[in-house]
Structure 1
């Protein structure tokens, strides 16, 4: 505060004033447009109001989503060339079309290829483990004593940020000391039973799976709560009828429970998969991508903002988007099948 002079506060005051004026002007324009649409009478009233309501949303989507997406795709097909100016000798940067060279590099360079492979591993294991453990937990504690408490214990990690979860696992569970007493819980247990401590975050390739466990720990609670709610929606009469027909618990689970909650399972898997593809915090906090643990989101950040190689970063962003497309298609097709069965 002492180092801030009057010019700083004057500049900040001007910025705040401009921001307030812009917000007031925006609200006034929207109010006038809405008021004008409300004055329209006749058959065109509904159409005019629809256009007035939808146009701002489409404009915001175009400015905030569609244009950046196409701009990123274009940047991924270019490269920056630094050449000295023939007259001044000063290096100038020109952008030229590079075709698929950035994508070829992304899939052929060993480091980049390892990053993409790690992302695929995260994409496979996190949804499967989170959903599988959440499903098993929801089934076993359904209508059990202390159900609410048991659910709360598993759901609690959802309230912790990814950075917080990373710090917890890094300092409490995975901590490794080359010399001295082991303070990490897992290594302390290993030493207690006479085994050598393990550097969980550096030993390859298992360090990637140890990072995956952190996100599984965080997402299992989400899967468990959603699946548990779906299981409670299964009519008990169906299980009772199956029991009278001689079906055991395992047969009732596969023949009644799973088909009844299939739509919920698809939504849970899809949601966790998309969240997994965006994982950045865990890797950035614990390893910064070292020891072959990098993922696309972190590598994209490093290339774009640290190494100033925006073209390669844009290519990775497009690859990440391409990973999402099959997930969305599977989600839509699976939900359509569920609707057809009903």
Structure 2
């Protein structure tokens, strides 16, 4: 019985010795070729897709061959890490290392050549523009999240009783297919302003003038311009909220609701006492996910106002300090503050997932 097993291990070892070097040669050669980039853009893209796919499959195959050389008990313990390991390494390389590096840079001067202590953090919490950015970010967090969840839940409840449920949900979800920059360009035409007497190209001002009013500079007056930007965010995120909450509503037992109606409960009471408690977990998930998007919101502000007229948020300030003013110390410090702000939300989200045995 031992002899066939030994023979099989020899065959696996021989196959590993052949496949392993070939995989390494292909991986390194492809990387060097892409680094030198002698091909056209289209050929480079096609080659990167084919080379990347083959290399990943070959690496997994080679690693599986190596693990099969171990006894079956060790194989069962090691094989999960073979498939999860690359993902962990990639996450570590692209997330953990940059995070640590940003933390180090946040204590350095603008050119990262000398230690600056807490000077960058002092700037963040004392500068007038940064205080505006903090205040606007709080507005995005509160109103962006609240209205996105509210309108998503309201639409989901209304769609359940509608004869055009699928069409209605599709129309509400459609903005999710648009990038934030694309949405910013669309709404820029909505908010476009020209002086009184000029031909109004913005939809809102065209309606205002058509009704006999005066055109308004919607994006030029703080703090209301922040709310007009948040409207775009809500327009985009309501579709996501709708899809998740609608699926959760489908899981609420019709028998329980019908029993409540028989007992004389009104529809509002059923909603507050049965429906909402039943989908509480989904509401938390949607809310925390949208909060993360609001904390990192940058695209809409950048494409609409570039942070002017009192519309700065933390993400836009981080971008400007890092890439416009080339102050890597302040930019890294703002990035660390954003990370600290999102960490409790992520922790709470994972905690709720764990309670519902998602993992």
TM-score, normalising length from structure 1?
Answer: 0.85
Shift of 1:271: 1.2
Q: Is the 8 A contact 2:321 2:330 kept in 1?
A: yes
Shift of 1:54: 3.6
Which segment is superposed worse, 20-29 or 293-302?
20-29
User: 1:38–1:96: structure 2 CA closer, same or farther, 3 Å change rule?
Assistant: same
Shift of 1:22: 8.3
* RMSD (Å), alpha carbons: 2.5
Number of matched pairs: 316
Shift of 1:49: 2.2
Shift of 1:20: 9.7
Q: Is the 8 A contact 1:176 1:182 kept in 2?
A: yes
Matched residue, 2:97: 67
More strand by share: 1
**How far apart, CA to CA, are the structure 1 residues paired with 2:78 and 2:348?**
37
Shift of 1:19: 7.1
**How far apart, CA to CA, are the structure 2 residues paired with 1:247 and 1:140?**
19
Matched residue, 2:174: 156
User: 1:48–1:327: structure 2 CA closer, same or farther, 3 Å change rule?
Assistant: closer
Shift of 1:335: 5.0
Matched residue, 2:194: 177
**How far apart, CA to CA, are the structure 2 residues paired with 1:94 and 1:332?**
35
Shift of 1:245: 1.2
More helix by share: 2
Shift of 1:60: 2.0
Q: Is the 8 A contact 2:172 2:239 kept in 1?
A: yes
Matched residue, 2:66: 36
**How far apart, CA to CA, are the structure 1 residues paired with 2:346 and 2:128?**
29
Matched residue, 1:3: none
Secondary structure (helix, strand or coil) at the match of 2:109 reads: strand
Shift of 1:198: 0.7
Which of the residues 155, 158, 167 maps onto 1:137?
155
**How far apart, CA to CA, are the structure 1 residues paired with 2:174 and 2:48?**
39
**How far apart, CA to CA, are the structure 2 residues paired with 1:224 and 1:19?**
37
1:53 aligns with 2:83: yes
**How far apart, CA to CA, are the structure 1 residues paired with 2:177 and 2:247?**
19
Q: Is the 8 A contact 2:218 2:228 kept in 1?
A: yes
1:127 aligns with 2:145: yes
Matched residue, 2:21: none
Matched residue, 2:11: none
Pairwise mapping of residues 105-120 of structure 1 onto structure 2 (< 5 A)?
105-120=123-138
Secondary structure (helix, strand or coil) at the match of 1:96 reads: coil
Shift of 1:98: 2.0
Secondary structure (helix, strand or coil) at the match of 2:113 reads: strand
Pairwise mapping of residues 11-30 of structure 1 onto structure 2 (< 5 A)?
12-13=37-38, 28=58, 30=60
Unpaired stretches in structure 2, ≥5 consecutive residues = 1-35
Unpaired stretches in structure 1, ≥5 consecutive residues = 1-10, 81-92
Q: Is the 8 A contact 1:102 1:315 kept in 2?
A: yes
Shift of 1:108: 0.6
1:103 aligns with 2:132: no
**How far apart, CA to CA, are the structure 2 residues paired with 1:214 and 1:320?**
22
Secondary structure (helix, strand or coil) at the match of 1:279 reads: coil
Q: Is the 8 A contact 1:266 1:335 kept in 2?
A: no
Matched residue, 2:33: none
User: 1:224–1:32: structure 2 CA closer, same or farther, 3 Å change rule?
Assistant: closer
**Deviations along 1:142-174, whole A, 9 cap, x unmatched?**
131111111112111111111111111111x21
